[in-house]
Amino acid sequence: MIEAEEKTVTDLSDSPSRVQVWKLFDRISHRYDLLNRLLSFNRDVKWRKDVVKHLGDSQDQAVLDLAAGTADLLITLCKESDKIRSGFGLDPAIKMMKIGREKLKKKDLTDRTLLIPGNAEDIPFRNNTMDAVTIAFGIRNLINVDKGLREMYRILKPGGRSIILEFSLPVNRLVRKTYLVYFRYILPWIGSIISGNKYAYNYLNRTVETFPYGNDFLKIMEKNGFINLKSSVLTLGVATIYIGEKA
């Protein structure tokens, strides 16, 4: 059993508002990829490649990427792995997906990928259909994380993997203090200038700082049925990959 470090909250409807957050992402869609690279110092590219390392060993996998947005993770999965037969992306943000479709076309991936409008808390796939389900920087945006995790579990085949990439906070006090200065003040300032949307990047730091991470998040996955749980800390704890399997 995973021991939680502190109390976890998985119904996040009140703090801060995640209701129709997809509209926020649509408003910044034209600058989303640029700001991801800039604000992470290009580390987000490496983090997505790290996700690929945690795919299962089987060939001809069907993979669903939730909160797929502009398809960065879906593209990385299909380009970096020879295990994927078909890749699907799900997201309610239509403008983000429009950009994603253009990127998939340029990468010659349209023959084995499909982006579908939809919500991670109500996934439009049958039970036991996916070998892997991924989500990058999107699990914290769900109103009900438990419901989203149960949906991920439902559509996975037995033995299938859930691979979740999400922001976290550094454990080292000095690193954490320095990072929070950047995260709370510098990052929102840069983000607001480039995207033209001040709220979007203030929302980012508030959701990250209020979201469970580390053992707390593994405990939530365990509660929702996942087994063989493990995590991989990235870049001094700025991000973490969580892996769990369906029994």
Give how far Cα 215 sits from Cα of 162, 173, 220, Å. 16, 18, 9
Choice between 19 and 203, residue whose per-residue pLDDT is larger: 203
Calpha distance 62→157 (Å, rounded): 10
| Residue 21 binned pLDDT confidence (cut-offs 50, 70, 90) | confident
Q: What residues pair up with 245 in beta bridges, in sequence order?
A: 161, 227
| Residue 190 binned pLDDT confidence (cut-offs 50, 70, 90) | very high
Burial class (CB in 10 A: 0-12, 13-18, 19+), 228: exposed
pTM to 2 decimals? 0.90
In sequence order, what DSSP letters do the residues of 178-220 get, joined into one string? HHHHIIIIIHHHHHHHHHS-HHHHHHHHHHHHHS--THHHHHH
What integer pLDDT is reported at residue 9 of this predicted model? Answer: 40
| Residue 47 binned pLDDT confidence (cut-offs 50, 70, 90) | very high
| Residue 162 binned pLDDT confidence (cut-offs 50, 70, 90) | very high
Do you know the residue count of the chain? 247
Q: What residues pair up with 236 in beta bridges, in sequence order?
A: none
What integer pLDDT is reported at residue 197 of this predicted model? Answer: 86
Reduced to 3 DSSP states, what percent helix, strand and coil does the chain have, rounded to the nearest 5? 45, 25, 35
Look over the chain and give the mean of its residue pLDDT values, rounded to a whole number.
Answer: 91
Task: Kindly state the percentage of the chain with pLDDT values over 70.
Answer: 91
Give how far Cα 231 sits from Cα of 138, 234, 243, Å. 17, 10, 6
According to DSSP, the β-strands at 239-245 and 227-234 are antiparallel
Please compute the mean of the pLDDT values over residues 179-183 and round it to a whole number. 94
What integer pLDDT is reported at residue 17 of this predicted model? Answer: 52
Please compute the mean of the pLDDT values over residues 194-205 and round it to a whole number. 84
pLDDT at 13 over 60: no
Choice between 125 and 11, residue whose per-residue pLDDT is larger: 125
Contact 56, 160 (CB under 8 A): yes
Rounded to the nearest 5°, which phi and psi values hold at 128? 60, 45
| Residue 19 binned pLDDT confidence (cut-offs 50, 70, 90) | low
Domains of the chain, earliest start first: 21-169+212-245 (3.40.50.150)
Tell me which residue of 165, 140, 142, 179 sits closest to 240, measured CA to CA.
165
pLDDT at 4 over 50: no
In sequence order, what DSSP letters do the residues of 99-151 get, joined into one string? HHHHHHHHTT-TTSEEEEE-BTTB--S-TT-EEEEEEES-GGG-SBHHHHHHH
Please compute the mean of the pLDDT values over residues 129-151 and round it to a whole number. 96
DSSP, res 59: S
Calpha distance 32→26 (Å, rounded): 9
pLDDT at 98 over 50: yes
